[in-house]
Chain A
């Protein structure tokens, strides 16, 4: 028995396998009615956009708008990119905020977080599991938009090579690669919002506070970018990192603005996760 006690004291503590925790977290998130409803509504966006655009451009009345919309007629491969950019300012951040809110604040309010901590799962590990859940579902959301967008685009707007913003026509492979690139860039930006949302989520037990804070933040950032007096603030606003992403469909790709956008998102991600970690490890539950 002494030997056993000694071993217990010196050995690393037993921990539940990480894969099992992550799988359990994903299963739990995907079982939530609101997750499924959110993803379902998100899938409607490309469908509606595709139908709308095909009506607007179908009768040969000219371009449907400026920028991307101007070149999207008969350019079905562009629809997923168009819809991703459409979802980035509001829908995707909102969804990731909801997931982050349910992950910590919601579980605290439910009394379930206590159970997990006593199991025990270390606090840092718990945050890692939660961050993984938010990140994975954000990526799932992006995939849903892209896939539905691609299918809708090909059906309603027709296939054919992708026409770039610069007017050149891209090969199918090149087009798909750019769709993939936009997916990654948009996912990363969503993660940045999700990390900040997790930090807020760690500070409250009201999920609604998290979602409304993120919403308020997004709106405030967008309002700030309207005033030229606040131009000096631009480089620090996450929302201002989102417009330059459209450069992906220029030919050739100007990498500089893409790197800058991603770098800014990385800062938000790092700060958000650090704050969340600090709060999760120090707070009483």
Chain B
């Protein structure tokens, strides 16, 4: 514990683990970006707590990359403000960005240089790297992404996955306080995907904050502590992953042999339910789990087991981003309200 804290101290102020409201590594307020008449991102209030691994989800064109670009000061917002590691952009970019590693919109390197030469060039521009330590930092980064054997080859000849790894390596050149990865698993084989997962876990363990966008929900579910779901340029849900999944679950699974009787009892109490495998599936809208159980047990229905089904991120994501109306969603609960309206 002490060692990891002191290791972080060299990089910058460590994550405030004990304070009740954790500091934010990145924060946007009312962020909006338009390209001509296209609204790419609108009214995005994103909170990225320090030390978190935030997964950014959203369908194609939902504004993930645009948001990330504004976070990094690459794109100037039409409106709204961005704060990165405590510095307001764009003025504070010089202070914040040295501590930020990024892989945005795929890796960008020069085809006529080798992987190692490309990294050396990137390293030369890193403010936090002393000139003497460039070589070592480059070799370490190559090692870390498993690219050392191919480091001498020209980037031109790299496979998609190797290119992606080199991109990751350049984000890892310096110990970072924040790493931003836009679809890092793009084009990677299963082993590569696992390695990304490992790298993210390592960064998390070392106290870095990670922002990762991906279409692989299972990856997000496995690696992230927080999620933000974007849809049509706005954040429709954000928060701790476990929290979101819990609040997303609205059904109760009852294991019982008395299905018919149970249904009758619930209908009499105006609770919607339907038969399911091994028993009943009860919707918890307008009622609560204790009420349901009380009704069932009171009527003599044999309840063997009652469980809240685990909503996968997949379900949550599908519900938040399915296109059934133009006015879906400003914040998380809107999605649930909408579901009530459907009924």
Contacts and interface: CB of A to CB of B under 8 A. Distances in A.
Interface of A: 1, 4-5, 8-9, 12-17, 20-21, 23-24, 27-28, 31-33, 110-122, 282, 284-285
B109 A112 contact: yes
Contact of A24 (B76, B112, B125): B125
B104 A118 contact: yes
A119 B104 contact: no
B274 interface: no
A15 B94 contact: yes
12 contacts: A9-B86, A16-B124, A20-B124, A20-B131, A24-B121, A31-B117, A111-B107, A112-B110, A115-B125, A118-B72, A122-B93, A285-B75
A120 B109 CA distance: 16
Contacts of A17: 131
A33 B13 contact: no
Given A5-B86, A118-B104, A13 B124 contact: no
Interface of B: 12-14, 69, 72-76, 86-87, 93-95, 97-98, 100, 102, 104-110, 112-113, 117, 120-122, 124-129, 131, 170
Q: Which of A1, A114, A120 has the most CB of B within 10 A?
A: A120
A12 B94 CA distance: 8
Find the residue from A14, A31, A113, A119 having the highest chain B CB count within 10 A.
A119
A115 B170 contact: yes
Q: Which 10 A-B pairs have the closest CB atoms?
A: A111-B108, A13-B94, A24-B124, A120-B97, A119-B125, A284-B75, A14-B127, A112-B108, A13-B95, A118-B102
Contacts of A119: 97-98, 122, 125-127
Contact of B74 (A8, A24, A32, A284): A284
Contacts of B127: 13-16, 119-120
A24 to B, nearest CB: 4
A197 B75 CA distance: 24
Contacts of B97: 118-120
A16 B75 contact: no
Nearest to B35: A284
A110 B74 contact: no
Contact of A285 (B14, B74, B95, B120): B74
B343 to A, nearest CB: 44
A63 B120 CA distance: 55
B73 A114 contact: no
Contact of A114 (B12, B108, B124): B108
Contacts of A12: 94
Given A8-B12, A28-B113, A121-B125, 7 more contacts: A21-B125, A24-B125, A28-B110, A32-B112, A115-B108, A117-B74, A118-B73
Contacts of A110: 108-110
B210 to A, nearest CB: 16
Contacts of A23: 124
A16 B174 CA distance: 13
A111 B163 CA distance: 12
Of the candidates A12, A17, A284, the one having the most CB atoms from chain B within 10 angstroms of its own CB is: A284
Contact of A115 (B73, B93, B122, B128): B122
Contact of A120 (B98, B110, B129): B98
Nearest to B98: A14
A28 B100 CA distance: 24
Contacts of A5: 13, 86
A245 B74 CA distance: 44
A28 B121 contact: yes
A13 B95 CA distance: 5
Contacts of A13: 94-95, 98, 127
B215 to A, nearest CB: 20
A119 B128 CA distance: 9
Nearest to A15: B127
Nearest to A283: B76
A252 B155 CA distance: 56
A110 B128 CA distance: 24
A13 B93 CA distance: 9
A28 B72 CA distance: 25
Contacts of B121: 24, 27-28
Nearest to A285: B74
A15 B100 CA distance: 14
Contacts of A8: 12-13, 95
A28 B121 CA distance: 8
A33 B112 contact: yes
Contacts of A118: 72-74, 97, 100, 102, 104
B108 A9 contact: no
A120 B94 contact: yes
Contact of A31 (B109, B113, B131): B113
Contact of B93 (A31, A114, A120, A282): A120
B13 A1 contact: yes
A46 B44 CA distance: 61
Given A8-B95, A13-B94, A120-B97, A114 B74 contact: yes
A17 B93 CA distance: 17
A24 B113 CA distance: 13
A32 B154 CA distance: 12
A110 B170 CA distance: 15
B33 to A, nearest CB: 9
Contacts of A121: 125
A32 B110 CA distance: 9
Contacts of B112: 31-33
B51 to A, nearest CB: 15
Nearest to B87: A9
Contacts of A282: 76
